[in-house]
Structure 1
Amino acid sequence: MKECFDFLLEIDQLKKVIRRTYISDGSRHENTAEHSWHVAMMAMPLWERYEHKEEVDLFKSIKMLLLHDIVEIDAGDTYAFDEEGYKDKIQREKLAADRLYGLLPKGIKDDYRKTWEEYEEAQSPEATFAHIIDHIQPLMLNIATSGVSWKEHGIRSQQVLKRNEWIQELSPSIYRQIQAWVDTGKDNGWLKP
């Protein structure tokens, strides 16, 4: 039991990992714990309208969404458009996964690590759905904050569309929303053309 509590106390550190995305009122950046909670919540109603919901075990996707960013305690958050940060992201996150999931008892450790790896591989229906949710949450918050994070980083509309183009085939309805957000961002000057 002590190992479980050690892990649970350690993951409280996720509240200190600051992301580039702002919370919806634009008053401050969100932290990764808030992000994890938000994407897990988003998965529930969006699963109800997801074109492939019958293929997705919702609980498993939510589990992935809650577990996948725990590695940021050690590895830090890598901004979606940070090409330099992506060069060693996999290595940093694997080391973090070794340490953080390693705090748990063997059976739980193996399950959580396997769940994290499945998310990272993005091949299963659950991982694919979880990735969709993880990708659209910052877009939604950028729209809510008049694109403040996009403007701070000089993001172009084509960068956002390219990063999310794979969603079009899996969920045309979600992709239409992405396109609408990008159009709003362009029309308002929040995204560069």
Structure 2
Amino acid sequence: MNHPRPLTDDNPLPDAIGARLRSQLGFLIEADRLKTILRQSPLAATDRRENDAEHSWHLAMMVVVLAEHADEPIDVGHTVKLVLVHDLVEIYAGDTPIYHPTMGADQAEREAAAADRLFALLPADQAREIRALWDEFEARETAEARFAKAMDRLQPQLLNWMARGGTWLSPGITADDVRARKAVIGDASAHLWDASKHLIAEGERRGWARPGHTPVQ
């Protein structure tokens, strides 16, 4: 996998700044690349696609607002960390559209390699901390990670609703495929999954999602 050089290679931070802080600032500068990674989801407020940084911010806000609907008690601050970190690897791995028929095949490999490279820009202790957050999100073995993943699936659903279909209308995708991809919401919140199913059903009724079933690949 080819990766661009870190942004600070072309304009290094002054040596007068201590090494640890230089590493931290360099990582934060590299994180600015997240603003350039376009997702498939359309924005609700204007006619363009959202980027990964906007997506991550929206998830953090959703955690704060919707935490009361979690089936298990969650640490809101920790869950916010999970959603802010989870897509950073896409700086190097790129976005993998949820309904793409083939891109998901090597997604785990691409993203793990990206995590190795990106988090290594941080001081070692923080690299371990941030990597642990990313791994926790991916594993979904904690209540916080399950809720974070639920937000990751619910957020684009709200945007697709506002777009009167959006990616629900991807070629070959039906309302049943959408339900299958979004069912993970129910692992964290029965209430939010119930609301999600209402959105899909109403979208299907209005013609914003195709009826019938096509197996999700």
Q: Which residue of 1 aligns with 2:123?
A: 105
Shift of 1:57: 1.1
User: Given that residues 69 and 192 in structure 2 are in contact (C-alpha distance below 8 angstroms), is that contact kept between their aligned partners in structure 1?
Assistant: no
> Is residue 166 of structure 2 the alignment partner of residue 151 of structure 1?
no
Q: Is the radius of gyration larger for structure 1 or structure 2?
A: 2
User: Given that residues 96 and 107 in structure 2 are in contact (C-alpha distance below 8 angstroms), is that contact kept between their aligned partners in structure 1?
Assistant: yes
* The 10-residue stretch of structure 1 (144-153 or 89-98) with the greater mean CA deviation from structure 2: 144-153
Give 5+ residue unaligned stretches, structure 1: none
Shift of 1:192: 0.5
Q: Which residue of 2 aligns with 1:23?
A: 43
1: CA distance between counterparts of 2:166 and 2:150?
22
**For 2:39, what is the secondary structure of its paired residue?**
strand
* Residues 72-113 of structure 1 deviation map (CA, whole Å, 9 limit, x = unaligned): 010000011123111100010011101111100011000000
Give 5+ residue unaligned stretches, structure 2: 1-20, 212-217
> Is residue 58 of structure 2 the alignment partner of residue 38 of structure 1?
yes
2:79 to 22, 41, 61: 61
Q: Supply the AA of the counterpart residue of 2:185.
A: I
* The 10-residue stretch of structure 1 (3-12 or 170-179) with the greater mean CA deviation from structure 2: 170-179
> Is residue 141 of structure 2 the alignment partner of residue 127 of structure 1?
no
* Cα pair distance change 1:169/1:106, threshold 3 Å: closer
The higher-RCO structure (CA 8 Å, 6+ apart) is: 1
> Is residue 184 of structure 2 the alignment partner of residue 178 of structure 1?
no
Give the number of aligned pairs: 191
User: Given that residues 147 and 191 in structure 1 are in contact (C-alpha distance below 8 angstroms), is that contact kept between their aligned partners in structure 2?
Assistant: yes
Q: Name the % identity.
A: 36
User: Given that residues 25 and 145 in structure 1 are in contact (C-alpha distance below 8 angstroms), is that contact kept between their aligned partners in structure 2?
Assistant: no
1: CA distance between counterparts of 2:23 and 2:197?
45
